[in-house]
Structures are given as structure tokens and as C-alpha cells.
């Protein structure tokens, strides 16, 4: 196969959802179709159950599982599919945001009884920012849910994207009879079944009396009415709008019952984008360029505390990556080769000789060689951007609790921050270190890992902060003036950029009011 053919057949995506909507179940069913696993129940969820806050074994186990399920590659029809897993727990939302920078499209799972939930809303913001094409799977149709038209309206309003149903449900809950595939013009009748796929009936002419014979008079007439309304309300599906990230095709089904999933997958492989061009600081990188480029979007620390080895996950942006070939680590300005790159096929990690744009390779790293956002290339000085940090939601001072272990603590904090576990700010007024996170669980993970992996003890001290904002201005004098006035609340982030730590919404509003030429950003990418 030529380089171009290899790259064109790749589909790299993530499934995102609010916890419990059915992401794990859907992932598993997709793997079943790809023959990557043979029984349902084989995929361990990469989610920390809500009860796990104080259950360390659970978190450690979780970290082990999530290496295996970080990327799941499999073949389906002529396509090579890479599913990137995202942590379900909202305290690790930052991880999910970063994973979204490495995918070419996204499938959103929504629980049809619950509709759009908070976590989905947040993740969709990132997709919108990046114009990522999204598809929606409306799950749990085997349960009593909300009216499909209402759900579609809610997605448009809440997620800020146009929708176009490509399948349509016949009832739901106890009276759920199946879905009509608008895209393919066939009918798939529902039988509750957790393992196999039911047969579909071709249906080019919905007026045919056969419909009554299959689903009864009442439902046949309702389906015809519904579809007339669907086609009246929603313009014809335009794949270009989907690829531009403006329109989401919607599928209905039940992941648990493997129902409506094949419709989703078949349409997905046909219309979802192959690797897309990536904007680097210097230029746009096209996937078909023969020279290899890629960036690190995730670092996974090993579970074995005695060997502080990590795996850096690299998304290949262009060309072909080969084992034992010299590539440039752009930040370090150093050529290096990798003798044991791993690929992730069917939940197994294996050493690979080559991988193509769209694929993810795992590079073992024993010495803190990689940081999140690092670029690799065949020699070009290229820097991939687009790994935004969001303002954390919670802040605490981190203090050394064992004076003999200052160095270990420093090293541990540095490495955990490079891994992207949380964000570090250094207060310019008193030099104290502040850790910002999305949730309480991250503080606990940091403390635990510092102790077990670095033999260092930390202590948290409270600080009342509302938001961290990255500031910039074209008016240098005003910026200086602001920094002077707010010197107690000024900090530097890991890259040495100026950050204003606002202790309340009111203070932030006042600052914005008083300093009109300063731009306050809530993400580090602006
Ligand atoms: P998540 O990864 O998005 O958090 O969700 P997950 O797949 O773990 O699914 C959450 C719960 O919803 C699971 O039940 C799962 O069995 C159920 N579920 C998923 N898809 C469907 C569906 O189509 N219909 C119905 N009725 N339920 C569905 P659980 O009881 O929380 O977990 P488990 O003990 O079954 O694993």
C-alpha cells in the first residue's frame, strides 16, 4: 500500500460523554465489530468510579488499565481505526481536553433519558474551538427516554451545533421496535440481545405495505409522519458541513444491546475524516507529507514505582514513523531514535516497525525526555501548538513536609507537571508554589504519587482563588501598571508567562473594568 493509501484509510477518534452515558459500552461494541475482542465485558472501563476518591488501590489499578485502553486500534472493512480513550471522571477533564487535540473526529454519546449533561457541554466547547467533526449516538433507546425531537433541539441549543438525524427510532423503552436508517434506507428491527447484530430489511419505499406487516399499523404511520417531519425540518445531510464541524449526524440505538451501533460504525468509516492537516506554529502540516512529524499529547507514568519509566504518546501528524530511525526532538534540539516504539492493537501493546499519520505510537521514556506538547520531526524545527491549558477550578499552596527531601519534591513536582497532571503557578510576590486542578481527586493523586514515586512528602495549604487568567496587552505601560497594582496576585506559569490570580469574580470584573487594554484569557492558548 502506498503512503497515501495507508493514511487515507485511517480514522482516529475519541468517544466522549458524560459519565454513565455508555461510552465504555459503545467502545466495547465497536471493538466487537472489528473482531478485536470476542466477548462483551472484555473492555475495562477507563473510569474511576465515583466511590474511588479514597480508594487508592482503585486508582492505581485504574492507571494500569488506562495504559492498555489509552488507544485501541483495530481493522474494520478496509479501515484502520484508532479509538483514543478519555478518562470519564471529571477531575481528569484536562486529560480529555488534551486527547481531543490528537483526534480527527469525535463521537458523542448521550443518554436519551438525560439529554445533554455538563461534562458533554464542556467537551463540546473544545471540539467547537478546534472545529472537530462530531457525530452523536443517542444511547439507551431500550429505556424510556425523552422525545427524539426534543433531544435534537436540546443538542442544537446546548452544544451549539446543527444536527441531522441519519437514523430514526421507532418508539422507545418497552415498545422500542428498532431504527429506520435514513442514510441507507433500511429498517433494523430490535430484539434485545447483548452480543449479536440483527438483520436489516431493505426499505427503499416507505409507503410499502410491508412496513405495516413488520411493525404494525400504528407505528408504521407514526414512523412515516416522523420521517416526513424530519425531512421537512432538517435540510438534507451535507457531508461537507459535518467535516467543517458545523453539523452533527445523529444515530439512535442501544449500545448495551449492540443495536444501532453498526449503522453508526458503517457511516462513520465512510464519512469521518482521515488524518487532517495540523496547524503548527511555523506552517500547516499536511498528513501526506512524506517526512515524519508528530507531537506528544499524553504521558503515562508506569505503575512500577521503582522504575520511574513513562510512555509518551505521540500522535503522528505526517508521513511515516519508523523504528530505529533518527528523529529530532525539537525542544531539546537533539536527534534520537527509538528502539521499542509501541502500537496499540486490539488492546495489546506491541512493538512496531512503522506507523503512519493518524496513528499513535507509545515511546518508552526513562529519563524525563518528554513533556506534554513536545514535537518530533525528521529534522525540521517544527512546533505543534494547540494544547491549551484551561484555568483550573481549584487551587492550593504546595509545601514541603519533609525538609530532608526538598530535591525529591522539586523533581516530583516538575515531572508531574510535565506529565500534565495539574498546573503549577509561582506567586511572584512570595515565591510560593500554587497547584491548580480541575478537581479534588487530582490533589490526592499528586500527594500519593509524590510519596510513592519520589519519596517526597507534601502538604496542602489553602488559598482562596477564583480563576487564573493569562494576561496580555499591546499597551506595555498599562500592563506594567497592572502588574504593580496587583503584585500580590501575579504569578508565572510553567512557561514563565504572566498569570493573574483573581480571588473573586468581583475582583476580576473590576480589573477588566479598570484596565481596558488588558486581555484576560481563561485558556493558555490565545
Ligand atoms: P460510561 O463509560 O459512559 O461511564 O458508561 P458505561 O458504558 O459504563 O455505561 C454506564 C451504564 O449504562 C452501565 O450500567 C451500562 O451497562 C449501561 N448502559 C450502557 N448502554 C446502555 C443501553 O443501551 N441501554 C441500557 N439500558 N443501559 C446501558 P451499570 O449498571 O452502571 O454498569 P454495569 O454494572 O452494567 O457495568
pLDDT at residue 525, as a whole number: 65
Q: Is 300 annotated as a binding residue?
A: no
pLDDT at residue 50, as a whole number: 44
What's the rounded mean pLDDT across residues 99-107?
Answer: 93
Ligand 1 centroid – CA 22 distance (Å) = 5
Q: Decide whether any atom of ligand 1 lies within 6 Å of the 114 Cβ.
A: no
pLDDT band at 54 (very low <50, low <70, confident <90, very high): very low
pLDDT at residue 336, as a whole number: 95
Asked if 25 and 261 count as a contact pair (C-beta separation under 8 A), the reply is: no
What's the rounded mean pLDDT across residues 328-350?
Answer: 86
What does the alpha-carbon distance between residue 321 and residue 296 come to, in Å, rounded to a whole number? 14
CA angle 343/327/334 to nearest 5° reads: 125
pLDDT at residue 146, as a whole number: 94
What does the alpha-carbon distance between residue 419 and residue 413 come to, in Å, rounded to a whole number? 10
Asked if 178 and 222 count as a contact pair (C-beta separation under 8 A), the reply is: no
Asked if 285 and 376 count as a contact pair (C-beta separation under 8 A), the reply is: no
Q: What mean pLDDT is reported for the chain? A: 87
Q: 66 exposed, middle or buried (CB, 10 Å; 0-12, 13-18, 19+)? A: buried
pLDDT band at 65 (very low <50, low <70, confident <90, very high): low
Q: Is 19 annotated as a binding residue?
A: yes
Q: Is 20 annotated as a binding residue?
A: yes
Identify which has the larger pLDDT, 387 or 152: 152
**Residue 135 β-bridge partners:** 107
Identify which has the larger pLDDT, 129 or 377: 377
First-residue to last-residue Cα distance in the chain: 40
Length of the chain: 526
CA distances from 150 to 122, 125, 138, 153 (A): 21, 21, 12, 5
Q: Check pLDDT > 60 for residue 42.
A: no
pLDDT band at 41 (very low <50, low <70, confident <90, very high): low
**Which residue's alpha carbon is at the smallest distance from atom 31 of ligand 1?**
20
Measuring CA to CA, which residue among 387, 378, 340 is closest to residue 94? 387
Residues 6+ apart with CB under 8 A from 249: 135, 136, 163, 164, 165, 166, 183, 237, 242, 267, 271
What's the rounded mean pLDDT across residues 421-445?
Answer: 90
Report the atom number in ligand 1 closest to the C-alpha of 88.
Answer: 4
pLDDT at residue 344, as a whole number: 75
CA distances from 276 to 126, 188, 345, 370, 440 (A): 17, 33, 22, 24, 36
Unique residue bearing C-alpha cell 416507505: 206
Q: Specify the pTM.
A: 0.86
Ligand 1 centroid – CA 63 distance (Å) = 21
Q: 53 exposed, middle or buried (CB, 10 Å; 0-12, 13-18, 19+)? A: middle
What does the alpha-carbon distance between residue 234 and residue 269 come to, in Å, rounded to a whole number? 23
Which tens digit of pLDDT belongs to each residue from 403-414? 999 999 999 998
Provide Rg for the chain, Cα atoms.
25
pLDDT band at 191 (very low <50, low <70, confident <90, very high): confident
Q: Check pLDDT > 60 for residue 166.
A: yes
Measuring CA to CA, which residue among 103, 29, 462 is closest to residue 297? 103
Q: Please provide the DSSP assignment of 143-178 as one string.
A: S----HHHHHHHHHHHH--EEEESEEEE--GGG--E
Ligand 1 centroid – CA 20 distance (Å) = 6
pLDDT band at 448 (very low <50, low <70, confident <90, very high): confident
Count the helix, strand and coil residues of the chain and give each as a percent rounded to the nearest 5. 30, 30, 40
Backbone angles phi, psi at 97, to 5 degrees: -55, -45
What's the rounded mean pLDDT across residues 322-339?
Answer: 95
Asked if 432 and 397 count as a contact pair (C-beta separation under 8 A), the reply is: yes
Q: What is the DSSP letter of 102?
A: T
Report the atom number in ligand 1 closest to the C-alpha of 139.
Answer: 23
Unique residue bearing C-alpha cell 452480543: 195
Report the atom number in ligand 1 closest to the C-alpha of 25.
Answer: 7
Chain mean position to CA 110: 15
pLDDT band at 378 (very low <50, low <70, confident <90, very high): very high
Q: Decide whether any atom of ligand 1 lies within 6 Å of the 319 Cβ.
A: no
Measuring CA to CA, which residue among 419, 425, 420 is closest to residue 495? 425
pLDDT band at 59 (very low <50, low <70, confident <90, very high): low
Q: Check pLDDT > 80 for residue 200.
A: no
Backbone angles phi, psi at 256, to 5 degrees: -60, -35
Measuring CA to CA, which residue among 202, 207, 244, 236 is closest to residue 223? 207
pLDDT band at 498 (very low <50, low <70, confident <90, very high): very high
Q: Is 462 annotated as a binding residue?
A: no
pLDDT at residue 60, as a whole number: 56
Pocket test of ligand 1: the residue of 140, 143, 173, 256 to mutate, having most ligand atoms within 8 Å of its CB, is 256
**Which residue's alpha carbon is at the smallest distance from atom 10 of ligand 1?**
20
What is the grid cell recorded at 48? Answer: 474511576
Amino acid at each position: 500500500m502506498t503512503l497515501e493509501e495507508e493514511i487515507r484509510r485511517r480514522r482516529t477518534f475519541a468517544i466522549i460523554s458524560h459519565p454513565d452515558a455508555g461510552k465504555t459500552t459503545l467502545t466495547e461494541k465497536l471493538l466487537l465489530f472489528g473482531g478485536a475482542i470476542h466477548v462483551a465485558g472484555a473492555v475495562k472501563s477507563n473510569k474511576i468510579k465515583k466511590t474511588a476518591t479514597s480508594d487508592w488501590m482503585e486508582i492505581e489499578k485504574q492507571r494500569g488499565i488506562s495504559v492498555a485502553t489509552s488507544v485501541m486500534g483495530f481493522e474494520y472493512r478496509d479501515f484502520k481505526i484508532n479509538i483514543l480513550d478519555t478518562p470519564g471522571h471529571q477531575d481528569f477533564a484536562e486529560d480529555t481536553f488534551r486527547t481531543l487535540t490528537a483526534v480527527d473526529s469525535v463521537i458523542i454519546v448521550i443518554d436519551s433519558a438525560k439529554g445533554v449533561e455538563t461534562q458533554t457541554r464542556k467537551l463540546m466547547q473544545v471540539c467547537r474551538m478546534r472545529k472537530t467533526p462530531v457525530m452523536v449516538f443517542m444511547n439507551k433507546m431500550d429505556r424510556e427516554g425523552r422525545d427524539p425531537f426534543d433531544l435534537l433541539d436540546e443538542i442544537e441549543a446546548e452544544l451549539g451545533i446543527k444536527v441531522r438525524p441519519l437514523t430514526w427510532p421507532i418508539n422507545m423503552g418497552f415498545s422500542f421496535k428498532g431504527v429506520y436508517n435514513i442514510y441507507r434506507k433500511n429498517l433494523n428491527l430490535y430484539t434485545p440481545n447483548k452480543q449479536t447484530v440483527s438483520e436489516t430489511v431493505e426499505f427503499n419505499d416507505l409507503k410499502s405495505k410491508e412496513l405495516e406487516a413488520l411493525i404494525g399499523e400504528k407505528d408504521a404511520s407514526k414512523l412515516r409522519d416522523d420521517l416526513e417531519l424530519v425531512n421537512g425540518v432538517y435540510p438534507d445531510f451535507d457531508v461537507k458541513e459535518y467535516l467543517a464541524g458545523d453539523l452533527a449526524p445523529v444515530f439512535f440505538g442501544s449500545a448495551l444491546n449492540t443495536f444501532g451501533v453498526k449503522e453508526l460504525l458503517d457511516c462513520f468509516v465512510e464519512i469521518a475524516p482521515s488524518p487532517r492537516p495540523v496547524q503548527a506554529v511555523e506552517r500547516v502540516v499536511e498528513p501526506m507529507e512524506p517526512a515524519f512529524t508528530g507531537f506528544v499529547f499524553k504521558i503515562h507514568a508506569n505503575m512500577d514505582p521503582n522504575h520511574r519509566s513513562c510512555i509518551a504518546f505521540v500522535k503522528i501528524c505526517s508521513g511515516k514513523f519508523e523504528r530505529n530511525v533518527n528523529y529530532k526532538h525539537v525542544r531539546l534540539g537533539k536527534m534520537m531514535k527509538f528502539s521499542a516504539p509501541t502500537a496499540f492493537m486490539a488492546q495489546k501493546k506491541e512493538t512496531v516497525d512503522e506507523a503512519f499519520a493518524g496513528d499513535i505510537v507509545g515511546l518508552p521514556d526513562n529519563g524525563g525526555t518528554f513533556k506534554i506538547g513536545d514535537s518530533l520531526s525528521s529534522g525540521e524545527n517544527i512546533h505543534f501548538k494547540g494544547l491549551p491549558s484551561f484555568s483550573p477550578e481549584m487551587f492550593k499552596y504546595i509545601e514541603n513536609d519533609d525538609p530532608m527531601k526538598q530535591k525529591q519534591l522539586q523533581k516530583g513536582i516538575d515531572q508531574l507537571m510535565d506529565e500534565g497532571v495539574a498546573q503549577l503557578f509561582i506567586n511572584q510576590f512570595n515565591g510560593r508554589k500554587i497547584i491548580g486542578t480541575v478537581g479534588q481527586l487530582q490533589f490526592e493523586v499528586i500527594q500519593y504519587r509524590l510519596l510513592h514515586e519520589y519519596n517526597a512528602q507534601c502538604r496542602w495549604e489553602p488559598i482562596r482563588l477564583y480563576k487564573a487568567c493569562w494576561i496580555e496587552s499591546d499597551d506595555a505601560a498599562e500592563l506594567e501598571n497592572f502588574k504593580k497594582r496587583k503584585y500580590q496576585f501575579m504569578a508565572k506559569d510553567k512557561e514563565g508567562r504572566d498569570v493573574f490570580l483573581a480571588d473573586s469574580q468581583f475582583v476580576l470584573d473590576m480589573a477588566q473594568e479598570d484596565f481596558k487594554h488588558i486581555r484576560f484569557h481563561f485558556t493558555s492558548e490565545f
